[in-house]
Amino acid sequence: MRRLLFVVMISFGLMAANSYTQWFKPINDVFETIILPIHWVANIPARVSRWSSFRVADSADLQMENTRLAQENLIHRGQIQRMADLAAENLRLRLLLNATELFLGSVLVTEVIGVSPTPRRHTLVIDRGSEDGAYVGQPLLDAEGLMGQIISVYDSHSIALLITDSSHAIPVQVLRNGLRSIAEGTSNYNRLRLRFISSTADIRAGDSLVSSGLGERFPPGYPVGKVIAVTQVLGANFVDVEVEPTAQIDRSKHLLLVFTLDDVGVPGSLQ
Amino acid sequence: MKYSGITPAFVLSIFTALVLQLIPVSGDLIYWRPNFLLLIMIAWIIFKSDQRSIVFAASMGLLADLVFGSPLGVNILLFSLVGAVPLYFSGWLVYFTLAHRCLFVFLLVIFSELMSKFLFSIWQAPENYNYIFIVALVSSVVWPLFDILLRRIR
């Protein structure tokens, strides 16, 4: 009983110290490096599953998938041509406005090698670290939209905080009318929440949200989510706005690390 | 904790629990995954109560804090409080039937989940109470594996 009381007191002391200081960060950093091989071992079933599904697929299936991918590639190349035209036009307009250039420079493909083992914390372990030029605060995308940002960088791996984590917030704007807000995580992989939206604001279900670029952490214009419900609570000054993230937060395996123009020239990155 | 109790079987069981805890699962499936570190701790306390004490429970809590990335101390407190229950009843628990021990684990996991949600409410983290019974149920379903394994080692 005496031991239990002692441990309880130590626990409360640690919790208090952890809340108000950064004393234990070095311990966490060392542990993250030690635990990396265990993440690798834990990832073996997923790798085996992917490998076996690839080996088991017959040639007809592979040929069909190949045809589909070739068609998709053609469509995307066509869209990129259109994008290049729009980007050039955007650049000209920005120059006319003397606006700051925030256009991204390059991206680096990365793979998820671990996920947070608890639903409370929405983090990923990715296989790029300081050796690849990754840095704290670097934005992370999947094929559909913004995923999150890097919060810890080690030599060969990094930890990224997802936009759905309850401690994460990202400045966004409504694509239709430019209404600015902050999208907060809710600890639910399928939901974000907009805070402090006035009940008279022009926002409705179906509106697309993109990163606004405010705060200069995330590049502007990347899809963040889609408004799925706007609820007016009786007597409240603000409406509850629920947003579904565009990115496949809990499914994407391969992601992109975004480098801004200042980082161009990182080895292995795609321009 | 008596250090003579650190056998290869003990180390292997902790490592396996750690790997099972870290296997990536997507979406809401994560709510169905039992807390393997907690289960292995309970199993060792029940079946080797002469070698495992509150200090062992606190050490497992420290490991859980580091693995989960939660504020240091939360899981130390949680594991110690949860571990104290089987430690108190350890003399009797080994004579229970497997079904009774499953029920005991079910109740213990519910206690642990409620306790953890209470602790995390200090940091105003949004908590999902819908899955408490599911986690407890899944934990009691997988418990026989731990039970049989640890009984054999004993």
Rounded CA gap, B153 and A169, in Å? 49
| Per-residue pLDDT tens over the stretch A120-175 | 889 999 989 888 889 998 999 888 889 999 998 988 889 999 999 988 999 999 98
pLDDT at A104: 52
Domains and CATH numbers, chain A: 2-42 (no CATH), 64-161+251-263 (2.40.10.340), 169-245 (2.40.10.350)
pLDDT at B75: 92
Owner of token pair 């642990």:
B112
Inter-chain CB proximity A15 and B120 less than 8 Å: no
Whether A166 and chain B come into contact, CB under 8 Å, resolves to yes
> Is residue A243 within 8 Å of residue A209, measured between CB atoms?
yes
Whether B30 and chain A come into contact, CB under 8 Å, resolves to yes
Residue B54 CB neighbour total at 10 angstroms: 23
* Residues pairing with A226 in the sheet: A208, A244
Helix-strand-coil split of chain A, %, nearest 5: 35, 30, 35
For residue B68, list chain A residues with Cβ-Cβ distance below 8 A. Answer: 116-118, 120-121
pLDDT at B1: 46
> Is residue B47 within 8 Å of residue B153, measured between CB atoms?
yes
pLDDT at A158: 92
pLDDT in tens, chain B (154 residues): 445 567 888 899 999 999 999 888 877 788 888 999 999 999 999 888 777 788 999 999 999 998 888 888 899 999 999 999 998 887 788 888 899 999 999 999 999 999 988 888 877 766 777 788 899 999 999 999 998 888 887 6
Whether A188 and chain B come into contact, CB under 8 Å, resolves to yes
* Complex-level ipTM beyond the 0.95 threshold: no
Whether B118 and chain A come into contact, CB under 8 Å, resolves to no
pLDDT at A269 over 60: no
Stated length of chain A: 271
Whether A15 and chain B come into contact, CB under 8 Å, resolves to yes
- Smallest CA-to-CA distance from B104 within B139, B74, B135, B78 is with B139
Tokens (6 digits) for B42: 């309970």
Owner of token pair 């929440």:
A193
Q: DSSP labels for B83-145? A: HHHHHHHHHHHTTS-HHHHHHHHHHHHHHHHHHHHHHHGGGT----GGGHHHHHHHHHHHHHH
pLDDT at A225: 92
Inter-chain CB proximity B73 and A115 less than 8 Å: no
> Is residue A217 within 8 Å of residue A139, measured between CB atoms?
yes
What average pLDDT score do residues A213-227 get? 86
Rounded CA gap, A137 and A140, in Å? 9
Rounded CA gap, B78 and B119, in Å? 9
Residue A215 CB neighbour total at 10 angstroms: 11
Contacts 24+ apart (CB under 8 A), B24-30: B24/A42, B24/A43, B24/A46, B24/A112, B24/A114, B24/A115, B25/A115, B26/A115, B26/A250, B26/A251, B27/A189, B27/A190, B27/A250, B27/A251, B28/A189, B30/A117, B30/A118, B30/A119
* Residues pairing with A230 in the sheet: A241
Conformational region of residue A103, where left means phi above 0, alpha means psi within -120 to 50, and beta covers everything else: beta
Inter-chain CB proximity B19 and A166 less than 8 Å: no
| Per-residue pLDDT tens over the stretch A19-77 | 888 888 888 888 888 888 888 888 888 888 878 777 776 778 888 888 888 888 888 87
Q: Where residue A270 falls among pLDDT bands split at 50, 70, 90?
A: low
Inter-chain CB proximity B25 and A118 less than 8 Å: no
Whether B80 and chain A come into contact, CB under 8 Å, resolves to yes
- Smallest CA-to-CA distance from A175 within A142, A217, A224 is with A224
Inter-chain CB proximity A120 and B27 less than 8 Å: no
